[in-house]
Amino acid sequence: MPFNAQNQVAIVGVGHSRVGRKLERPLGALAVDAALKAIADAGLDPSEIDGLASYPQTTGAGVGPEPGVSSVPLDWMVDGLGVKGINWWGNGGGNISTAVGYAIMAISTGMASKVLVWRAMHQPRTGAFGSGTRNTFGQASDKPAPRVQYKQQFTAPYGFGDAPSGFAPSYMRYMKQYGAKRHHMAAYTVPMRANANKNPNSVFYDQPLTYEDYMNARMIADPLCLFDCDMPVDGAGAIVLTRADLAKDMKQKPAYVTAMGSGGWNWENIPPEAYRYDSAANNGRTLWSSTYMKPTDMSGAMFYDGFTPDIYWWLEGFRFCKFGEAYEWIQNGRIAAGGELPINTFGGQVSEGRLHGIGHWIEGVKQVQGRADNQPGDGARQIKNVENILVATGMTGHGTGAILSPEPR
């Protein structure tokens, strides 16, 4: 049976650090910036936080080997914030979505009452992001590895050694299997950039993208082009969660967790056409089984977009359309601002910057609270009359999704 977190937890505070390409400010300082903003946004003092969760704990995707400089592990944040009396902390596995899920469960089971979740991302100062950046111990490193080992020794020498080349085959298989073409994806990428142009936190805030720009972009790993990949940045985001009974007295309106699901699979051992569905579809299956709500009850969705094809698998896995139909389903402005199902109204990772999913949770909360346009410079990206926002982040074999609502459901 799925874990039932219905109406027991609410997200009450959100915070962003500055987001940019190769910022001079250390990653720990950016994470503290985001955390303090989220705590203040909830109307709390750091001393009131009694739970912490993040990902990763040590080295991994988007972090380096130096705590406070290129990574922000849990114990470093305890000192960085000067918090005392932590009753619970948890390290999400694979993506910030898992840390959010753990936090929801910790609060629901009484292990903590006010939990801070953050994700801080570091862009290597040398070399290309994600290309052989592992040292001889298999740990993430700022320096390109002179050699690879373990499974990579059989793939990297043949050009199959980075994330785009690992994701491209499943996208190509989808296109061959269902008839999708590259131009269909412009229905996602172009509106996402338009959303980012209304979001001051976005690294592409002042850079529009046209259909022609997208179609003429250079290939990274065919059929993934430059604008199909999320944008590596330095930055951090944070959210504060609490018990539903406490949320009513917080500074901001609560964004109640009214349904929750999770799912994953060993994605490396199944065919390219299947492995995305094992995460997205399992996530959708467990989420919908925890609620009476259905896809048509959603006012919008924040779906993880490490690579743009993720959107197809999320939509199909969460049953907004049938398998093989998402590329047609998103056409004609259906997912753009003002459409039937606005998606990633902040621009997503492809246009705001790669914060590993925390930006999706922040935007989902702000949409539910009715304050997506409350920053100087914001355009009109607030969805009207929000009832429920679906947030789902993760992929590649893991993920957590939740429905956020302005009232208990």
How many other CB atoms are found less than 10 A from the CB of residue 380?
11
pLDDT number for residue 143: 53
pLDDT number for residue 78: 94
Q: Is the pLDDT score of 101 beyond 60?
A: yes
Q: Residue 138 is encoded by which pair of tokens?
A: 């298999």
Residues 6 or more apart in contact with residue 179 via CB below 8 angstroms: none
Handedness of CA 358, 80, 371, 257 (dihedral sign): positive
pLDDT, the chain, mean: 88
pLDDT number for residue 370: 95
pLDDT number for residue 397: 63
What is this structure's pTM? 0.92
**Neighbour-count burial of 217, counting CB atoms closer than 10 A to its CB (0-12 exposed, 13-18 middle, 19+ buried):** middle
**Backbone φ and ψ of 157, nearest 5°:** -65, -15
Residues 6 or more apart in contact with residue 110 via CB below 8 angstroms: none
Calculate what percentage of the chain has a pLDDT beyond 90. 69
Q: What domains sit in the chain, N to C, each tagged with a CATH number?
A: 9-123+162-405 (3.40.47.10)
Element counts in the chain: helices (H) and strands (E)? 12, 11
- In this structure, of 210-224, 233-247, 369-383, the range with the lowest mean pLDDT score is 369-383
* Residues forming a β-bridge with 401: 261, 392
pLDDT in tens, 175-190: 999 999 999 999 999 9
